[in-house]
C-alpha cells in the first residue's frame, strides 16, 4: 500500500536585520534553508535578499532591549513541507535572532512565477562632501531655472466678464 504524500507548498517571506554584513547575508539565507530542510521540507525556489527601505519603522525586542529598524534585507523562499511540521519550522524561525519579521503562507505550485520589478536601490546613509553638496545644489538650481512658471492658473477668474450687462441693470433698478 502506497503512503499518501501530505506535503503542501508554502512560502516564507523574511526581513533580515540591516546590521547584517553583506558578506553574512548568504550565510543567514543558508541557515533559513537549513531550518526548512531540518523540519522535513524541500526548497524549490528563492529570491536573494535585497536591501530595502521599509514602509514604516519596525521594532524587534531581544531580551529587554528594543531596537527600531527602517531598512532591512527582504527575501523569500518557496518550499514543500508536511503541514504537521510547520510548528517545528515556526519555532526555528522565531528563535532566529537575525530576522526582524517573517510571514509564512500556504501557496500553490502554480504561483511560483517570479515577477521582475525595476530594481531601486535603497537609500543608504551616505555623507556628501562639501564639493558634492555644492554640485548637487547647483544642479538643482539649474533644473529649477529651466522650469517656466505659469502664474495664470493661480489667478482668480474675473467673474464680472461672465455676468451679462442686463442682469446688472435689473439688480440696480
Please list, in sequence order, all residues whose beta carbon lies within 8 angstroms of the beta carbon of residue 68, skipping any fewer than 6 positions away.
Answer: 57, 58, 59
CB 112 within 8 A of CB 44: yes
- Provide Rg for the chain, Cα atoms: 29
Which residues in 130-150 are b (16+ Cβ under 10 Å) and which e?
Answer: eeeeeeeeeeeeeeeeeeeee
| pLDDT digit string, tens, across residues 29-84 | 999 999 999 999 999 989 899 999 999 999 888 778 898 999 999 999 999 999 99
| pLDDT digit string, tens, across residues 80-103 | 999 999 999 999 999 999 999 999
Q: What is the pLDDT of residue 1?
A: 40
What gap in Å lies between CA 32 and CA 12, rounded to an integer?
10
Residue 158 has pLDDT above 70, yes or no: no
Asked whether residue 121 is assigned to any structural domain, the reply reads: no
- The CATH number covering residue 62 comes to 3.30.70.60
Domain co-membership, 96 together with 17: yes
Q: Closest Cα to residue 32, out of 70, 80, 76? A: 76
Number of domains making up the chain: 2
| pLDDT digit string, tens, across residues 16-34 | 999 889 889 999 999 999 9
Domain co-membership, 89 together with 154: no
Final residue before a domain boundary, out of 60, 76, 109: 109
* CB atoms closer than 10 angstroms to residue 14: 23
Q: What domain range is 37 assigned to?
A: 8-109
CA separation (Å) from 63 to 16, 60, 67, 112, 120? 18, 10, 11, 37, 34
CB 50 within 8 A of CB 73: yes
**How sure is the predictor about 110, in pLDDT bands with cuts at 50, 70 and 90?**
low
Asked whether residue 146 is assigned to any structural domain, the reply reads: yes
Amino acid at each position: 500500500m502506497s503512503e499518501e504524500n501530505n506535503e503542501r507548498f508554502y512560502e516564507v517571506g523574511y526581513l533580515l536585520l540591516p546590521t547584517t554584513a553583506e558578506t553574512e547575508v548568504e550565510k543567514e539565507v543558508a541557515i533559513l534553508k537549513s531550518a526548512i530542510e531540518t523540519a522535513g521540507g524541500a526548497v524549490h525556489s528563492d529570491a536573494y535578499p535585497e536591501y530595502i527601505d521599509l514602509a514604516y519603522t519596525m521594532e524587534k525586542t531581544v531580551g529587554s532591549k528594543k531596537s527600531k529598524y527602517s531598512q532591512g534585507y527582504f527575501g523569500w523562499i518557496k518550499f514543500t513541507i508536511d503541514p504537521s511540521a510547520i510548528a517545528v519550522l515556526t519555532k526555528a524561525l522565531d528563535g532566529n535572532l537575525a530576522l526582524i519579521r517573517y510571514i509564512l503562507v500556504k501557496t500553490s505550485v502554480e504561483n511560483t512565477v517570479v515577477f521582475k520589478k525595476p530594481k531601486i536601490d535603497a537609500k543608504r546613509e551616505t555623507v556628501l562632501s562639501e564639493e558634492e553638496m555644492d554640485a548637487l545644489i547647483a544642479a538643482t538650481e539649474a533644473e529649477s531655472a529651466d522650469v517656466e512658471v505659469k502664474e495664470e492658473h493661480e489667478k482668480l477668474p474675473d467673474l464680472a466678464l461672465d455676468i451679462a450687462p442686463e442682469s446688472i441693470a435689473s439688480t440696480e433698478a
